[in-house]
Structure 1
Amino acid sequence: MTYRAGWIHYTNVAPILDSLVLPDGVTAITGVPTQMNAALMSGEVDIANISAVEFIRNAHMLEALPDFSVAVLGPVYSVNLFHTRPLKELRRIALTAQSAMSVALLEVLLRERGLCPKLERAEGEAEDLLAAGYDGVLRIGDSALREWYQVVGPLGDTQTMTTLPSTGRGITVTDLACEWFDLTGHPFTFAVWAYRKDNPPPPELVQAMREARRDGLGHLAQVAQRHAGALGLPPRVVQHYLWNFRYHLEAPDRLGLRQFASKAVPGHAPLCFGKRPG
């Protein structure tokens, strides 16, 4: 029987998926986070790198690989709130329909600040939506990374990513992962590789994923070079972006994930993780 994978192939998982060779009997499709969340829940796919909040909401039926994640400690650069007013003065925020995770994180952060702006679904680039009347726009993924750089860049020869400003062109960019770190001091886990508890992935697929991750992290400059052109960004920006991620779901990542779960989905079922490799 064929085992079906659903990949959210943003640049942030390129070190895992770029060189992945699927073993015999495994097929894959790709899509945005909300599409792959739905595909896993409907049974269209058997495993997916889904939004962590969907894993939490469906913890009664899902299990996650114990050593794969998309997490950061501090800035993520690609889950951004673009805004033209201070956070406490925001009235209307445009939300992308592509990501349940970023919306849930934004809702937690706003609630922790005691803020309740109107949240509306609207698609488009941040600057276009701001010009259309929104004073805040939530953007995710490769588009958010590119639009962040359009606002705060360019990166000078003597600068590093960490010295770039958070404002430009009359816009402030608030990195939601940074906000989470300021609130909790923990990493933020955006995605896990989840599957139904009664249908775990074949060991050959998990091993192939580990080998691909090892190859990708060992050749990060080449991975960044491959993706920089499509993103329209300097390779060193993309390389910094990639080496910033935590791909192994270590103890601090799980701690942050559980803290987010308690804030975003009170009363959720226990989070289950498969057995770590020996």
Structure 2
Amino acid sequence: MTNHQPSTLDPQLPYRAGWIHFTNVAPILDPLVLPPSVTAITGVPTEMNEALLTGRVDIANISAVEFIRHADTLAALPDFSVAVLGPVYSVNLFHTCSLPDMRRIALTSQSAMSVALLEVLLREWGLSPVLERAEGEAEELLAAGYDGVLRIGDSALKEWYGVVGPFTDETIVPEIPQTGRGITVTDLAEEWFKVTGRPFVFAVWAYRKDNPPPAELLKAMRSARRSGIGHLAEVSARHALKLGLPEDVVQHYLWNFRYHLEEADRQALRLFADRAVPGHAELCFGPCE
């Protein structure tokens, strides 16, 4: 993280980006070459959310719920997202009993988005377990007495595969089991789709309305996205090595993502906003008045 800096409304200062570089955005960020007028830092979701809201960076791929909560001051790029239609594999509720029987759910270091999605789904299911902060991997926390554990990101993807894998040549993707070793994995994005029939948008690329990104940054991001999607096997192989997962598992994971914030994604995001943040300001997919 960088120290507080003056606003980049001064054209002599660099435009500052804050990237959350999980595997799910690798097709955009891995090939990205920043123009000379832009600098970047990386961090976890909570750090980048805070950096954007306090002005330490000017643009960030933040959780969509933070964009919704601050829609009065933030706009989202109109053609960038991190979304899925159905399962996501990396926003998981691990549990050892049925959903209606859950009494205590552990929330490890999560993005605000995953917690908000869990809360929306619990209301849809008519459930009200106690949500508690606790650190550790899913199996450790389940063994410690929690009925469920919410995990996100690359660690959740690895823990999911640890429960439901390994896969064989005979594994049929739509029929991947979601249980193993007495643990069930409920994919929250898939549950959202079952409830609404809509995609789920986990993140947008947000910036302050009074300081939109320079055209050269948008051009570089679009070029990077084309390259990353066009070389998805190479991106997957590189990150599979980092994660210690099979290449085909990571490739399947990345195939699922929608990176363009299409109209269906915008409608789904507005629906989620209404359910998660009643009374929110109107969402702006820039440029904004």
TM-score by length of structure 1 reads 0.98
Segments of 4+ in structure 1 off by > 2 A? 160-163
- Could you tell me which residue of structure 1 aligns to residue 7 of structure 2? none
Give the match's secondary structure for 2:151. Answer: strand
Amino acid at match of 1:29: I
Is 1:22–2:29 an aligned residue pair? Answer: no
Cα RMSD for the two superposed structures: 1.0
Amino acid at match of 1:76: V
Measured against aligned partners, the alpha-carbon deviations of 1:34-79 in whole angstroms (never above 9, x if no partner) come to: 1111110011111000000000000000000000000000000000
Amino acid at match of 1:45: V
Q: How far did 1:185 drift?
A: 0.2
1:54 to 41, 61, 66: 66
d(CA) in 2 for partners of 1:98, 1:113: 21
Q: Which moved more, 1:62-71 or 1:31-40?
A: 31-40
Q: How far did 1:98 drift?
A: 3.0
Is 1:97–2:109 an aligned residue pair? Answer: yes
Q: How far did 1:164 drift?
A: 1.5
Gaps of 5+ in 1: none
Is 1:129–2:141 an aligned residue pair? Answer: yes
Is 1:38–2:38 an aligned residue pair? Answer: no
Residues 15 and 39 of structure 2 are in contact (CA less than 8 Å); yes or no, is this contact kept in structure 1? yes
d(CA) in 1 for partners of 2:137, 2:108: 10
Q: How does 1:61-80 map to 2 (within 5 A)?
A: 61-80=73-92
- Could you tell me which residue of structure 2 aligns to residue 257 of structure 1? 269
Amino acid at match of 2:169: D
Q: How far did 1:275 drift?
A: 4.3
Gaps of 5+ in 2: 1-12
Measured against aligned partners, the alpha-carbon deviations of 1:233-266 in whole angstroms (never above 9, x if no partner) come to: 1000000100100000001101110000000000
TM-score by length of structure 2 reads 0.94
Q: How far did 1:192 drift?
A: 0.1
What fraction of aligned residue pairs are identical, expressed as a percent?
A: 76
- Say how many residue pairs are matched: 276
Q: How does 1:106-185 map to 2 (within 5 A)?
A: 106-185=118-197
Amino acid at match of 2:89: Y
